[in-house]
Amino acid sequence: MEIPELSTQILIFLFLTALIASFLDTLAGGGGLLTVPALFLAGIPPLAVLGTNKFQSSMGTATATFMMFKNKKVTWKEVRGLMFFAFLGSAVGALMVQFINTEMLSFVIPVVLLFIATYFLISPTPKAGAEPKISHTQYRNFVVPAIGSYDGIFGPGTGSFFALSGVSLRGKDLISATILAKTLNFATNVAALTVFLFTGRIAWIAGLAMIVGQGIGAWLGSKSLFNINPSYLRILIVLMSIAMLARYVFSMGWL
């Protein structure tokens, strides 16, 4: 696998993209749908794009998770089981993607993004203490590893999927679901990254430039998340989902 030599301008572009993506991802998820196209534009091969994206996004989710624990927004006891199952699901997905054609995901992603935007646009505002639709055990054993597998295979939007599942299936308010999503997304990123490290599918220079942007963006996003109005967060998720859908449709040449 040959990694192209990257100019200073491209590295700056990747750094800025990672910073913006990490900030938005911490608040609303979906940062990967900014960073993945950016890596493709840099001329990096497909599997190396996925591996490099995991490498750089791990810094963003690690920073966000650290901030959640530091500010006591979540406890280790609360998330350790969920993180373990998220890790397992992602590891399986990352192993699978080494042998499957990732082009099939081009039809899945737009549908999922449209679903997320529609759900948060028309659904009633979630309230803390709402009745869960499934038990904690069912959520941990089935939903979390399923989303984790998606992250291992491709990834963009995983944070949004975790937040959406927390709201719709576990009855959490949007802020709590988003905070929990950061920890689970960190676990899935680490699992997928481990697999890609063993297979050597990482463009190191690009990844290192983006890691710096990810750390800054996640720190700023975490600070904002603690103070943001849930109504504004819902709007941001809808706008991000629609924007990512439009970006993806145009990048695929469907319009």
pLDDT single digits (tens) 164-220 = 899 889 988 888 898 999 999 999 999 999 998 988 789 999 999 999 999 999 999
List of the chain residues with pLDDT < 50: none
pLDDT on residue 249: 74
Q: How high is the pLDDT of residue 147?
A: 96
Does 2 reside within a domain? no
Dihedral, CA of residue 230, residue 233, residue 237 and residue 238, to nearest 10: 80
Domain that holds residue 220: 8-251
- DSSP H helices, the chain, are 8-28, 32-41, 46-70, 76-97, 105-122, 136-138, 144-153, 158-170, 174-199, 204-225, 230-251
Cβ atoms of residues 67 and 23 within 8 Å: no
141, part of any domain? yes
Distance CA 231, CA 126 (A): 10
Q: Is 3 inside a domain boundary?
A: no
The reply to whether 235 falls in a domain is yes
Q: Cα–Cα distance between 77 and 191 in angstroms, integer?
A: 20
**Tally of structural domains, the chain:** 1
- The answer, as to whether pTM is greater than 0.75, is yes
Q: What is the pLDDT of residue 227?
A: 78
Residue 1 lies in a domain: no
Instruction: Output the pLDDT for position 103.
Output: 65
Report the alpha-carbon distance of residue 247 to residue 255 in Å, rounded: 11
In a domain, 106, yes or no: yes
Q: Is 224 part of any domain? A: yes
